[in-house]
Amino acid sequence: MQQYYVTTPIYYVNDEPHLGHIYTTIAADVLARHQRLSGKDTFFLTGVDEHGQKVQQAAETRDIEPIALANQVVARYESLWPELSISHDDFIRTSSDRHHKAVQAMWRRLENAGAIYKGFYEDWYCVPCETYWTETQLKDAECWEAHQCPDCKRDVEKVQEETYFFRLSAYQDRLLAYIKENPDFIAPESRRNEVVSFVEGGLRDLSVSRTTFSWGVPVPGDEKHVVYVWIDALTNYLTAVGYPEQENPERWPADLHLIGKDILRFHAVYWPCMLMAAELPLPKRIFAHGWWTVEGEKMSKSKGNALRPADLLNQYDADVLRYFLLREVPFGADGDFSFDALKVRYNSELANDVGNLLNRSLAMLKKYNGSVLGEVGEEQAADRALIADVEGMQRDVDELLERQAFHLALERISSVVKHGNRYVEDNAPWALAKTEDTARLNTVLYHLVESLRLIAVQLSPFMPEKIALMLSQIMNKDVDVNTLRLSDEAGWGQLQVGHQCQAPSPIFPRLDQ
Ligand code: MSP
């Protein structure tokens, strides 16, 4: 069976989950569900990043141990993911034994490959960004005078410590060649170009150990050093698939690392170079999505305006949020979250289009034929056009999700729903019901219900709960969307003549503007 492995970033435990964290996880979940539906042996990984100075400091301010802080935030994620219908196969914690083993094994592997050496470090460090800056970089960014971080504009600290370096510079040419030979490796294209110019600008060896704090994985054989948090964090993608018990894990490489644009360099430069040094295959694709603002403003800890899952879930069903987040903004672009936009999108596409098509079709079937699908007559051009559109949708959605174009996939499904509603108007079952032509009436109703079934199947990765309800009305039994497979479901004509549907019950009731 073909395999598919998708990951999210692992989230820092010095912050509570917010919109940014749920966004990537929902996107990954839709892909995982879509791949399972397509019959692939899918592995979907998410988790938390527990180590590092930031977490240690956050714990100190609260006067608790870092692990206690981590446990609190982990509990939040563990209760949040089911509420959002996240179907991850594994949740990794970097404080776990399995991960310690993996990080230390990775370190040794890099060391044995001659890619790690001991040296001395003198530089400028931004604690919140966990990034080192050279004097030249600060000068170039006009941050030298104020000693500010070029990214976040907060103060940088001067640091001087004994450190291990990773020979990043040695992989510059190989990485560039790889990126050029593999056009789909980094997406979207603008991000790929960014990475190319960064690498072309020259790679410096990377400091990969710290002696200034202790909350992390000790460097094997030199325990006063702690492994740099990004080496630690990135290795999680291997831990979860059985490294180092399996030296070259069977599930590796990942098919897709989904990340936000701010952590692109770590994933598209440092990580591939580490893997090259370790002689492990590179992930097949890295997709960096954009950032959300909320009601026009940047979310920030200082403003305290971060949108929390509870703010969303006490107003909207998880599925509606899932739909909105992936429909509203092209994946890869930045976007703005607003409750008004959500309501507009909900009313127009979910209530008016999908909800209406389902309700009116099942209502007419009930009214004209006791909810039973009658004998289908000869197909007309309009029927064939609808079938062709449904079949085209199935191919297109698959192709669009292969390249993480969620908004286009939803738009494509939406276009079939609109087609279905037009088909109702054009074929006017209410008028047919007044004639003797029951064959035509049955044919039209059959085409509607069968289209709805196939639309639901395609929507199920996006809205698993709502679609389970929709399918149970159509199939007249409980439907477990997790076990649906396209190989069983996707063919036109699976619904049998004589099948009885349920009476409609609205799943997307209209909201007042
Ligand atoms: N721990 C690292 C990732 C290590 S992966 C090996 C980390 N954690 S994080 O918790 O700070 O951020 C996780 C993700 O949240 C990032 O992908 C980031 O882009 C995303 N977001 C944070 N704020 C965001 C928005 N406002 N909008 C969209 N995503 C954002 O980085």
| Residue in this structure with the two tokens 């990794």, named with its chain if needed | 92
For ligand 1, atom 23, the nearest C-alpha belongs to 20
| Secondary structure class of 29 (helix, strand, coil) | helix
Report the nearest atom of ligand 1 relative to the CA of 299.
26
| Residue in this structure with the two tokens 């789909």, named with its chain if needed | 184
Gap between the Cα atoms of 379 and 90, Å rounded: 48
pLDDT for residue 131 is more than 90: no
| pLDDT band for position 513 (cuts 50, 70, 90) | low
CA atoms within 13 A on the CB side of 263: 21
% of the chain surpassing 70 pLDDT = 100
| Secondary structure class of 124 (helix, strand, coil) | strand
Query: What is the fold of 339-489?
Result: Isoleucyl-tRNA Synthetase; Domain 1 (1.10.730)
Gap between the Cα atoms of 420 and 414, Å rounded: 10
Going from the C-alpha of 47 to that of each of 17, 240, 487, the distances in angstroms are 12, 10, 31
- The best mutation among 262, 298, 334 to test binding of ligand 1, ranked by most ligand atoms within 8 Å of the C-beta, falls on 262
Cβ–Cβ contacts within 10 Å for residue 284, how many?
15
Give the Å distance between the CA of 10 and the centre of ligand 1: 8
**For residues 383 and 443, is the Cβ–Cβ distance under 8 A?**
yes
Report the nearest atom of ligand 1 relative to the CA of 293.
26
Arithmetic mean of pLDDT, 138-152: 91
Arithmetic mean of pLDDT, 289-300: 93
Gap between the Cα atoms of 285 and 346, Å rounded: 32
Report the nearest atom of ligand 1 relative to the CA of 267.
6
Give the Å distance between the CA of 229 and the centre of ligand 1: 15
Going from the C-alpha of 198 to that of each of 63, 201, 264, 267, 368, the distances in angstroms are 40, 5, 11, 13, 66
**66 upstream amide cis, omega within 30 of 0:** no
**For residues 103 and 227, is the Cβ–Cβ distance under 8 A?**
yes
For ligand 1, atom 27, the nearest C-alpha belongs to 291
Interior angle at CA 218, CA 130 and CA 227, nearest 5:
30
Give the Å distance between the CA of 9 and the centre of ligand 1: 7
Q: Which ranges in 330-405 belong to alpha helices (H)?
A: 339-345, 356-369, 381-402
pLDDT tens digits for 155-196?
999 888 899 999 999 999 999 999 999 999 999 999 999 999
- The residues of the chain that CATH labels 3.40.50.620 are 3-289
Q: What is the pTM of this model?
A: 0.94
For ligand 1, atom 18, the nearest C-alpha belongs to 260
What is the reported pLDDT for 201?
96
Give the Å distance between the CA of 241 and the centre of ligand 1: 22
Gap between the Cα atoms of 259 and 24, Å rounded: 7
- The best mutation among 263, 264, 265 to test binding of ligand 1, ranked by most ligand atoms within 8 Å of the C-beta, falls on 263
- The best mutation among 7, 8, 12, 234 to test binding of ligand 1, ranked by most ligand atoms within 8 Å of the C-beta, falls on 12
What is the reported pLDDT for 46?
98
- The best mutation among 291, 300, 303, 312 to test binding of ligand 1, ranked by most ligand atoms within 8 Å of the C-beta, falls on 291
**For residues 365 and 507, is the Cβ–Cβ distance under 8 A?**
no
Arithmetic mean of pLDDT, 200-205: 96
Lowest mean pLDDT, pick from 141-145, 234-238, 388-392: 141-145
- Burial of 211 from C-beta contacts in 10 A (0-12 / 13-18 / 19+): middle
| Residue in this structure with the two tokens 């929507």, named with its chain if needed | 459
Q: Which residue has the higher pLDDT, 1 or 134?
A: 1
Query: Can you read off the two tokens belonging to residue 178?
Result: 């790889």
For ligand 1, atom 20, the nearest C-alpha belongs to 20
- Residue-level length of the chain: 513
What is the reported pLDDT for 431?
98
The mean predicted confidence, pLDDT, of the chain is 96
Q: Which ranges in 278-338 belong to alpha helices (H)?
A: 309-313, 318-328
Sign of CA dihedral 32, 289, 322, 404: negative
Max Cα distance, the chain (Å): 91
| pLDDT band for position 212 (cuts 50, 70, 90) | confident
Relative orientation angle of helices 406-427 and 356-369, to the nearest 10 degrees: 30
| pLDDT band for position 115 (cuts 50, 70, 90) | very high
Residues with CB under 6 A from ligand 1: 9-12, 20-21, 23-24, 49, 233-234, 236, 259-260, 262-263, 291-292, 299
- Burial of 330 from C-beta contacts in 10 A (0-12 / 13-18 / 19+): middle
Give the Å distance between the CA of 398 and the centre of ligand 1: 27
| pLDDT band for position 129 (cuts 50, 70, 90) | confident
pLDDT tens digits for 309-357?
998 999 999 999 999 999 999 999 999 999 999 999 999 999 999 999 9
Arithmetic mean of pLDDT, 3-17: 96
What is the reported pLDDT for 230?
94
pLDDT tens digits for 438-492?
999 999 999 999 999 999 999 999 999 999 999 999 999 999 999 999 999 999 9
**For residues 450 and 471, is the Cβ–Cβ distance under 8 A?**
no
What is the reported pLDDT for 461?
98
pLDDT tens digits for 248-267?
999 999 999 999 999 999 99
What is the reported pLDDT for 301?
76
Report the nearest atom of ligand 1 relative to the CA of 237.
6
Give the Å distance between the CA of 79 and the centre of ligand 1: 19
**253 upstream amide cis, omega within 30 of 0:** yes
DSSP 513: -
Give the Å distance between the CA of 324 and the centre of ligand 1: 20
Report the nearest atom of ligand 1 relative to the CA of 292.
27
Give the Å distance between the CA of 11 and the centre of ligand 1: 7
> 3-289 belongs to which CATH class?
alpha beta
Lowest mean pLDDT, pick from 46-60, 118-132, 154-168, 361-375: 118-132
Q: What is the DSSP string of 403-462?
A: TT-HHHHHHHHHHHHHHHHHHHHHH-HHHHTTSS-HHHHHHHHHHHHHHHHHHHHHHTTT
**Where on the phi/psi map is residue 236: left (φ > 0), alpha (ψ -120 to 50), or beta?**
alpha
For ligand 1, atom 17, the nearest C-alpha belongs to 260
Gap between the Cα atoms of 123 and 297, Å rounded: 33
pLDDT for residue 368 is more than 80: yes
| pLDDT band for position 303 (cuts 50, 70, 90) | confident
What is the reported pLDDT for 333?
98
pLDDT tens digits for 405-417?
999 999 999 999 9
Give the Å distance between the CA of 90 and the centre of ligand 1: 19
- The residues of the chain that CATH labels 1.10.730.10 are 339-489
pLDDT tens digits for 494-504?
999 999 999 99
